[in-house]
Amino acid sequence: MSEDQLESLITQVINGAISTIPAYLDEIKENKEVFKVENPQEFVYGIVMGMALGMGGAVLSTQKEMPTEEDQIKVRDIVYKHIPEIRERIFN
């Protein structure tokens, strides 16, 4: 898989995760006693980042070989460059 294809897939995952932000925030606020979360935005930020990094790793795992450390760093770098957009959607 080319780096452009990988970036495109990860961007799709991030966009999908970003679209779920309002629902997650509402769910947490409605179920404060169950979740016991002090900062819903930080919690959702962790969910979105976990989804993006996890799916990036899953995509790499479907390749013929186990992902190398370099491959994992590529995924991380792609996800990290979207952090400002993710934080903007959650915290504003």
What is the mean pLDDT of each successive set of 10 residues along the chain, which is 92 residues long?
A: 83 90 93 92 93 85 80 91 93 90
How far apart are the C-alpha atoms of 79 and 52, rounded to whole Å?
A: 7
**The pLDDT of residue 72:** 87
Buried/exposed code over 19-41 (b: 16+ C-beta within 10 A; e: otherwise): eebeebeeebeeeeeeeeeeebb
How many independent structural domains does the chain possess?
1
**The pLDDT of residue 3:** 80
0.75 exceeded by pTM: yes
**The pLDDT of residue 64:** 65
**Sign (positive or negative) of CA dihedral 58, 10, 74, 2:** positive
**The pLDDT of residue 36:** 92
